[in-house]
Each structure stands twice: as C-alpha cells, then as structure tokens.
Structure 1
Amino acid sequence: MNVHFPQDEISRSEAYNIVNANEQYIVPTSGDPIRGLIQDHIVSATLLTKRDTFLIKEDYQHLVYNACVSNSPPVFQRGKSLPKVGIIEDDYGFLSVAPTIWKPEPLWTGKQVITTVLNHVTGETVFYHEQIWEVPGDYWGKSSGELDVVIQNNEHICGIIDKAQFGKYGLVHIVQELYGANVAGHLLSIFSRLFTGYLQMHGFTCGIADLLLKPGAEVRRQKILAKSEDLGEKVHLQFLGGNEDLVHMGEDIEKLLRSKGETASARLDRLMSSALNRITSDVNNSLFPKGLLKPFPSNCLSLMTTTGAKGGLVDFTQISSLLGQQELEGKRVPRMVSGKTLPCFLPWDTRARAGGFISDRFLTGLRPQEYYFHCMAGRDGLVDTAVKTSRSGYLQRCLIKNLECLKVYYDYTIRDSDGSIIQFYYGEDGVDVMKTSCLTQFDVLAANQKLVIQRLGKDQFDELIHQSSKKGNSLVSDSHTNDLPEALKKKALGFIDSLSKEKRQSLNLDRRNFLNLMRLKYITSLAQPGEPVGVIAGQSIGEPS
C-alpha cells in the first residue's frame, strides 16, 4: 500500500475533499449519480412505501427515531435492556405527522415515515419532486396511483420508492441538487438505517412457490414451445429458397454453407435467431407477471427483480420459463467439420435445439446437451473478459499519458503544457459534466425556484435581474461566459410556452426571472479553471472499455 503525505494546506484540503464520500456523489464521466442504496434496502423501501403498509404508533415512532438518530439502538433489540440511549442533537428535532387512519386505532402509512424523514433532513424547507415509475403498470395496476412518485411540500403523496429513486433524477439526486452534497449524504445514511430497521420488522425471503406457474400458464408455455420444433425446418426451407425436398435438405444445406462460407452461415443464424426470439418473447409475455402462481408483490422474487434490488426479468425467465437461444460472439453455436454441433446430433440438423436453443429452465432442470451449450456461452464470457483486461489497460495508459497535461485555463480554453490551445471552450459549451445534471430539467428548476436561488446565491440572482432590467428583455453580456447559450435559451422558452396559464400562476413563474435563473444556473455550472480535464477524459474512455 502507498502512504501519501500532503506537503501543504492546499494539498491537505484537496486530499480531504477527494476522500469525502459526499463530494463524490456524481461521476465525472457522465454526470450520473454513483452513490445509492442497493439490494435489501431497495426491497425494504418498496415494502414500506406500498399502499397497504400501515404502522401503529410505536412502530412509526421507533422507525423514525432509529433512522434519524445515528447512535440509536437497532430495531430488533426493542424491549431489552440497552447499554446506551440515542440523543437527538439536531435543532429541528422531529415533527410528527397526523395519522392517516384514526379509528379503531391510529395508523400511519409507510409514506408518512418518508415525509417525517424529509421534514427532518431539509429543516422543513419544502421542495417538489415528481418522477414516473419505470415498471409497467401491469404490476401495481394502472388505477393504483403508484405509477408516479410525487413529493410535494416534503409530503410523499404517492408512488413507490425503488431503485429509480436512488438513480438519475431520483429523490436523492434532486435533494443533492437543491440542498447540497452533505444533505444528500445525510439522507442516504438515514434511509439506510430506516430500511434496515423496517426489514428486520417485516422480513423477506424467497421460496420455490415464488418460481411456480399457474397450471393454465404452464399449458400455454408448452403449446408455444411446441411450435419451435417445426420452426427450424421452416426457416431452413426459407434459407434454401423454398426448395421442399425434405429428404435431401441436409445435403442442400451442406452444399450452400460450404460454398458460400461465412456469409451464408451468418444469414442462417440471423433468420433462426429472429424466429426463435419471437417464440421466447411470446412465452415470456404470456407468463409474466400474470402467469405466476404467487402474484406480485407477494411474490418475493418478482418483487426483487421488478424493483431493481437484484437481478432482472431475464434471470427470472431463465428460472421459470426458458433459457432461450445461446450465443457465442453474437452467433449461434458453431458446427464442427462434420456438420454437427455436438456428437449426439445428426449432421446438418435443422432443429432449433441442435443450434443452441434451450427450451428447458432451471426450475425443472436442463438436459445434458442444453447444459453443455449453456456452459459454452459462460466460458466465452470469461475468456472475453480475460483478454479484454490487458487491452483496455494499455488503451487507458496511452490515453492518460497523452492527455495528462490538458487543463482548463482562466479564459475557459483548454491548453497544453506549453500553452498551445487545444479547444477554445471546454466541451464546446464550457460546462462541467458534474454540474449539468439538472441544467435541462426545467420542471425541477421551475417548481423549486426559491431553493435553487438560495443555493446558487441570492445576491448574484438579484444582480442578474438588475442587469436584465437595464437592458430590457435581452440577456446580452460583454463576457461570452455570462451569456445563456442560444440552444439552452430556446429550450427554456419552449418549456415556459408549453405550460398553461394556470400552471404558470401556480408555480409563480415569470418569464424574465426564469431566464435569469437559468443564466445563473449556467454560470455556476461552468468548469473551474485548473480542472484536469485531460486525465478525466482519458479515464472516462478507458474505464468502461
């Protein structure tokens, strides 16, 4: 391990900010958030915020206390003698909300726990957030009101907190944009304790019952997969140009593939894959989500894959439905010189199964041939990863060695170590990627104008209003860095024009003030002089390769 000794106060400050996790919330590569909660926390968040979750007073208060007080005892130790007591060291304390249901006993919803937490974290300064849930409406039901996440005046009105709320433009991202990195980090810590505590109360487990299909769905699956038996013959007839001599089909295929080589083989693979993918899609669409024996959200595996906690629909289909077509380097399983894919198949076999199509599933097991094909695809991925490591490492080294001296100068140009200009304006717009997250999210900026102005600087905003009032409606400035780019200005004006008069009045949206707000947002989003943009570019290209 290396030990770094900062030699002065500037390097000490730099090291402190580099290792400060709150300041590393946004990735310099793309401007997307990298911090968030995963796996069990996502499942717990969904279970807590779904519609039919109700809490008695003791559970509601204990969850809020456990979440907001960092040294509070864990939930599962309630009722035992504890060595320490958590103390609230916050000026705001807790503002409890009234229960949703009063009779026969007071009950709070899971959404009200989120509301209480947001009031505590933001100090009761209200904000607005709205986001459409990415999961299809078939899962919760289109009339459930859970498809859109709406938080107004800090109150969680509707919607489920899932993986999306910890990603780009999610709840935590908007809090980071409006209140700063430290508040967002504090909110993540609170959510972590809250969701851990609720999962200890509720529990979560998967069983075989979560994988089973309804009897009717099982019959539909068998009928659709039966079509794949004849599909290979039909596709090969189409490949041969409609020649219906089934007796000599194998010989005709051999002649064509040996004479045309790679071109004919690629065309056959394309035809077969296209036809088999339709079969796979038909099977999966008929089974998920309505064909499962245990429906969503009581089906724990479906809940896990749907909310983004772990895995995805592909993993679920491979367990309960079928594995589908196996591919090596984008092609079907290759044939040997004899024309066989495996010794147990006939030469130039036209069946889909012989080409690597697996109609079996993990729930009921794979036959030896299918298992071998699946292992081939897995081994191909391992080899590809091993070979790629050395190549991508050398690529990144070359990029960084050639770009390491590029940085932003005080005139916003990108220059080399000898002062020669490489780019007149960083990225053609001068904007730092880490500050562009909400630059074009006009609905967020319009709904939270006061918070944005407060964070960016009210004095600067008042100065911009004073300048624009002297110059009329134009936002022309002597400095090119203070001008709002025409493309951004056009989009902002288009957003204002798209709103109805009532909506503009409810948002208190003034055309000139909003353009000044956008201008202030743009100015504060410019790349800082001294930013090592060359190294960032080299790492951004080399790392994902």
Structure 2
Amino acid sequence: SGERSEDDLTHKMGDIVRINQRLFENINAGAPEIIVEDLWDLLQYHVTTYFDNNTAGVPPAKHRSGRALRTLVQRLKGKRGRFRDNLTGKRVNFAARSTITPDPYLSINEVGIPEAIAKELTVPEFLSEWNEKHLKKMLKETDRILYIIRPNGQRKKVSEENKSEILEELAPGFKIERTLENGDIVLFNRQPSLHRISMMAHYARIMPNKTFRINPGVCKPYNADFDGDEMNLHVPQTEEGKAEARNLMLCSNQAISPRHGGPVVVLDEDSVSGSFTLSLKSTKFEKHEAMRFLYEIGITEIPDADVEGKYYSGKLIFSQLLPKDLNLEYESYACGLVKKAGLCKSCAKEECAFDTFVKIKNGLLVSGVIDSASLGERKGQLADALFRNYGPETLEKFYLGLSRLSTATITRKGMTAGIDEYQTSETVETLRQEAIAEELEESAKLVEEYKKGTLEHIPGKNLAESFETRMLVIGSKVKNKLEKQILKEKIEQTLNVEKPAYNTSIIVLSKAKGSPINFTNMSGFWGQVSVREGRPKRGFKNRLSSINRKGDIGAIAGGFIQNNFIQGLTPREFFYHSMGGRQGEVDTSVATKVSGYLYRRLANSLKDLVINNDETVRTANKNLIQYTYGEDAVFPMKAVRGKSIDVKRIADSVAAEPARQKSKSD
C-alpha cells in the first residue's frame, strides 16, 4: 500500500514525543493554564498506555484501523505473552502432531506413527564397532540416513551422489541421523497437560495412513477420546533422554495412578463388554473356534477341553492370559447388582447360581465374570494385583492379550441394541402402574399436611424445605422399586440362560458403560425431575408452567414424569425434563472453565514443593510446609487402598509359595 508499517511501541513513542513537544511550546508561549493542563493530561495518558493499554478506567489507545495497540504489559502477560508463549513454553524441533484413532491390536506401550511423519523425524545414533556393519548396510541399501556428523561436529547431508564417498569415510566416532524405525522410544502428549501422566513414553510402530494409533486402554491418563482429538509426539535426541523415557516414563510403568493408588491405564468400554461376554458361564466354543481365539494371543498349543469333554469355555481361554500361580477372590460388579435386585440372600461365593463371584485358582478362572471390578479405573482388582505382584511387563502383556481377545469376542458374538429389549413384561408394567399410583397418593397426603402446617419438620430445615425434601424422597423410593424389578429380569435374561442376548444388558451389567437407571428411564418411568438438588421451582408466579393451576405444588405440577422414553413424554413432561437437562449442560461448560483456571493457579503455587531426604515437604528456598509428606509418608501410587502395606496379600503370597515352587519344578 506504500504506507510504512510501524511497531505499536514506536507508534506510541511518537505520540509521547509529539505531545511533549506541544506541551513544551505551549508552556514557553505562555498559553492559558487550561490548555497546558489538557496537554499535561494527554501526555500522562500516552505514557500510561505505553506501559499498559488495558488500565481500568482509561480508554485503550487504538491504531488508525481501530485495533487496540499491544503495548508493554500486553506483550508480557497472558497466554500469548512473552512468558507463556516464548519462555516457559515454546515451539520445538523433532515433534509431530496428528489426530488419534484407536487400534486394539497395539500394545499399551506402542504408538502407531504414520509413515509420512516417520520419514520426517530423525534420531541421532552413534557409530561404534558394535553397530558399524548395521549402519553401513542401512546407508548403502536405504535412504533412511539423512545426515552424518563428523567427530569435529561438521554435518554433511547424505545424497545419492555422495553415498559411496561417505561409506568410505564412516568410522567409529561418527554420528548419523536416521529416520524413525520400529522400536524407537518417543514421548506422546495430549494437551491440556493437567498431570504427570499426560505425557508418557511409547515405542514407535511405523504404520500406513495419516493418524497416530493408540490402544484404547491408554485413553484414561491422557483423558483422550477419538472424536477428533489431536496429540503431540516428541523424539528424544540424547542417550540420557532415551534412557529416562524408557525407565521413568514408559506407559506400562504408569498403570497405577499417583492420585488414588488404583489402576489408571485400564481397558474399558468395548474391552469390558468383550471380557464379560467371554467369561460368561454360557460361553463355550468348539475346537476350531477356540484355536482361533488362542492364536490371537500367540498360543499354538491348545489345552484340554473343559466342557463336556469337547467344548472349550470362555473362562479357559481367558485363563491363558493369567500367571500360573495367581490366586484371587473378590466380588464382581455384577455380584453387587445381583444383591441389589434381591436375587441373592447370602453369598455362596464360587457356588453362586449367577456365577458372579470371581475366583482365580493357580491361574485358572474357576468362577465369576470379568467386568469393571476386575479391569476398571481405580477399583480394578485383577489389573491392580497383576501390576503389584508381577510387575508392569506382565500387565502390559495381559492387556495386549485381553485387548485382542475381547475385540475378537465382540466381533464373533456381536453386540447390538434394539427397541425390543426395552419392551417390558406384564410384571414390570403392573409394578409401574402401582408405583405411579403410590407416588401420586403419598405426595397428595404430603401436600395436604404441608397446607395444614402439620407436616413433621426435618431437623435443620423449615416447613417448605422439609416438604420439598420429602417429595424428592418419595419420587426416589418408588423409582427404586421399579428399577429393582427391571434389573432382576435383565440379570436373569443374561446370567441365567444358555443363550443370552448380546445387547445393552451386557454393557450395563458389566459396567462397561451406563447404569441400571438407564433401563428404568427407557422401560419404566423417568420419575421426579431434579434441578439443583431439588424440584424445579423457577417458572411463573405460584406455578411452574402456564398450564398448571396457581398454587398447585403436587407431584405432577412439580415435575414428576410418569412416562418412559419408549412410550414418549407428554409436552409438559418433555418441558420439565429439559429443565434437568439444561442444568447438566450449563454445569459442564461452567465447571470446566472455573475448575481449569483454579487448577492452574493451584498447580503454579505448589509446583516448587519438594520432598527432602528427611521426608519433610519444603519450598525451593527450604521453607518447611509439612514435617512428613502427606502426614503419613505414604505415596498413593505405592500404597494399597490407602495403606502402606497390604498384610492380607503378603500372607496369601507366603501361603501360596509352596504351590508356586511345586508348579515351577513340575
């Protein structure tokens, strides 16, 4: 355009010089005091906005185009400021970024890297007498070595023309830079990096296509999903960097969370559904099918059939992943649901009619189903035992095998959802009508007592608060009755039949996703709408919506929904339901924003705290914060459910030692 482009500070400095000159001239010319004061104020304004163009009560100085000028303070503060954008965080070399997609056939310690990225990123490698032959062969036969670096530090680019010359020159002491190959250690990171395990080390696996591939089990620590998330990959350039990544940052070493001391690298969702299906007592395979499953996990010798002498149970196939001396007993998540449904009067353990009590004896799954209680985040007992008793290598191998097995099981058996599974039985329909009648009757009595003033107060609450709380309690009570019956039928249709339907019941009963309340909402009734832990109140004067009578505070007028999602809601019910939904939407967005900023401030204030050798917690300048770390000197990652020592596990291990030695000698 021919106009000269000035920096914002130069622009501002020009304003200061110009006003200074005018002020000087006016003072010397004896101008009226009001003009001198105006120029004085204007000079003050320009000096202020030179330092901070965002001062409260001062209009920002603007460019001719209307853009606010970026002056000294704006250059330093905030996300795009000098500190956060150029000093504490900056752009780096040897990094790549792409969308992530799932691959259950990869190990948790691997990351699939697109060929296009692998050809761009380089790794330095020292040439020595041990790898001289290998590197010379690579240089001669491939184009994977891009540069050589002489012992004096000179770099030389490798090309087809100078290859033979470089081959003659190469000797121990040289360094080469080659493209990524399978087995190279890399760092993988998803932002925002909110805790230590938002960045972990994986081994490279070069793959076709354009996305990074990871095992879905690695999603939890990264808080990643596959709806378009992008992640960053960094290649360590020094031997120290590679060693630290391999020994300190490898994904399998981070399987236990430093926050709660339970598993955090976990197989969930599809893997839990698949494991649950595989371990059902009704799951059995013929020899050729069983062999296909075993081949998935690298086993070529088939064990003896364990069902009727010719079939292979899913439990037997699952057991091939377990260490031969593993002994465990615990209740599965499904076991808790059986109790909740009132189907279990007293625990029969491995004799349970529904086969929900998990017992593993000498590496064989004797009874029980493998669900979220075995594999889930924080409470996965099987994953926890494998990591603590056998180490990260065993857990990594188990996850790889189970990831393949569960994927194969779902592929073979199928997993579907259909309207027919939410059609209710006559028993449920009768109970539903009774529950609704009970709700309306009891709530009508409460309304009457409230209006008369005879309603019993709840300690610490006034009459109106007591009434609202009791209305919520009634709604919850009648819904629980119906939920219990629906859950009972789902359990019997899945755990107690020869041929279960592989549908959403498996997803809920294994806690792969969802909960029994989803069944009730779809097949029973929604029940009482809740907004801010109470019935919805904000609406018209003395009524919630315009179609209610004034002063009506009964169940229907207060947001009780009698229908379910299969039947469909009435317009009034739909409106009430959206009130509860809106709260969830608002809370999600607001809570994320507020907690994100609070966490940032908290992390910045605590990041210089260190644990000294005397177990005290101190700041960087040695000020004392705690006499003992956490008051008990127990690090959650090393603790077992909050205790520094698990006496029962040690006792069980000692008791099982003779059997372990015997199995080794056999």
TM-score greater than 0.5 by the shorter chain: yes
Deviation at 1:387, TM superposition (A): 2.0
> Which residue of structure 2 lines up, in the alignment, with residue 208 of structure 1?
419
Answer whether contact 2:486 2:519 (CA < 8 A) is retained: no
SS in 2 for 1:150: strand
Deviation at 1:243, TM superposition (A): 7.0
Answer whether contact 2:331 2:373 (CA < 8 A) is retained: no
> Which residue of structure 2 lines up, in the alignment, with residue 62 of structure 1?
292
Deviation at 1:263, TM superposition (A): 5.0
Please give the root-mean-square deviation of Cα atoms over the aligned residues, in Å. Answer: 3.0
Q: Separation in 2 of the partners of 1:110 and 1:320?
A: 31
SS in 1 for 2:358: strand
Once the two structures are overlaid, the 10-residue window that deviates more, 137-146 or 184-193, is 137-146
Change over 3 Å in CA distance of 1:506–1:56 after alignment to 2? closer
* Aligned partner (choices 433, 436, 444) of residue 225 of structure 1: 436
> Which residue of structure 2 lines up, in the alignment, with residue 131 of structure 1?
330
> Which residue of structure 1 lines up, in the alignment, with residue 564 of structure 2?
361
Superposed, 1:205-354 pairs within 5 Å as: 205-241=416-452, 264-290=463-489, 298-299=500-501, 300-354=503-557
Q: Separation in 2 of the partners of 1:335 and 1:280?
A: 24
Deviation at 1:302, TM superposition (A): 2.2
SS in 1 for 2:243: helix
* Aligned partner (choices 130, 148, 155) of residue 364 of structure 2: 155
1:16-40 per-residue CA deviation (whole Å, 9 max, x = no partner) reads 4565221221111111211222222
SS in 1 for 2:333: coil
> Which residue of structure 2 lines up, in the alignment, with residue 165 of structure 1?
374
Q: Separation in 2 of the partners of 1:149 and 1:295?
A: 17
Q: Separation in 1 of the partners of 2:430 and 2:399?
A: 46
Deviation at 1:303, TM superposition (A): 2.1
Answer whether contact 2:257 2:637 (CA < 8 A) is retained: yes
> Which residue of structure 2 lines up, in the alignment, with residue 398 of structure 1?
601
Deviation at 1:273, TM superposition (A): 0.9
Structure 2 unmatched ranges of 5 or more = 1-89, 93-233, 456-460, 662-666
Answer whether contact 1:276 1:325 (CA < 8 A) is retained: yes
Superposed, 1:89-168 pairs within 5 Å as: 96-101=302-307, 103=309, 106-118=310-322, 122=323, 124=324, 126-135=325-334, 136-137=337-338, 143-144=352-353, 146-167=355-376, 168=379
> Which residue of structure 2 lines up, in the alignment, with residue 543 of structure 1?
none
- Bigger Rg, structure 1 or 2: 2
> Which residue of structure 2 lines up, in the alignment, with residue 412 of structure 1?
615
Q: Separation in 1 of the partners of 2:454 and 2:599?
A: 53
1:251-305 per-residue CA deviation (whole Å, 9 max, x = no partner) reads xxxxxxxxxxx95543321121122222222222233323899565635222221
Deviation at 1:94, TM superposition (A): 5.5
Q: Separation in 1 of the partners of 2:578 and 2:608?
A: 46
> Which residue of structure 2 lines up, in the alignment, with residue 197 of structure 1?
408
Q: Separation in 2 of the partners of 1:359 and 1:292?
A: 25
Letter of the 2:338 counterpart: G
Answer whether contact 2:331 2:357 (CA < 8 A) is retained: yes
- By percentage of residues, which structure has more helix? 1
Letter of the 2:481 counterpart: D
- By percentage of residues, which structure has more strand? 2
Change over 3 Å in CA distance of 1:420–1:95 after alignment to 2? farther
Q: Separation in 2 of the partners of 1:227 and 1:379?
A: 29
Deviation at 1:344, TM superposition (A): 0.8
1:517-545 per-residue CA deviation (whole Å, 9 max, x = no partner) reads xxxxxxxxxxxxxxxxxxxxxxxxxxxxx
Q: Separation in 2 of the partners of 1:185 and 1:294?
A: 34
SS in 2 for 1:198: helix
Answer whether contact 2:329 2:358 (CA < 8 A) is retained: yes
Identical aligned pairs, as a percentage? 25
Q: Separation in 1 of the partners of 2:288 and 2:241?
A: 49
Deviation at 1:64, TM superposition (A): 1.0
Answer whether contact 1:446 1:507 (CA < 8 A) is retained: no
Answer whether contact 2:262 2:384 (CA < 8 A) is retained: no
Q: Separation in 2 of the partners of 1:26 and 1:291?
A: 34
TM-score (norm 2): 0.57
Q: Separation in 2 of the partners of 1:264 and 1:40?
A: 49
Q: Separation in 2 of the partners of 1:146 and 1:242?
A: 52
Deviation at 1:311, TM superposition (A): 0.8
1:34-57 per-residue CA deviation (whole Å, 9 max, x = no partner) reads 122222222221221111222111
Bigger relative contact order (CA 8 A; separation at least 6): 1
1:43 paired to 2:273: yes
Letter of the 2:361 counterpart: Q
Structure 1 unmatched ranges of 5 or more = 69-92, 245-261, 453-504, 509-545
Letter of the 1:409 counterpart: N
Answer whether contact 1:212 1:293 (CA < 8 A) is retained: no
Letter of the 1:21 counterpart: C
* Aligned partner (choices 255, 259, 276) of residue 25 of structure 1: 255
Answer whether contact 2:524 2:564 (CA < 8 A) is retained: yes
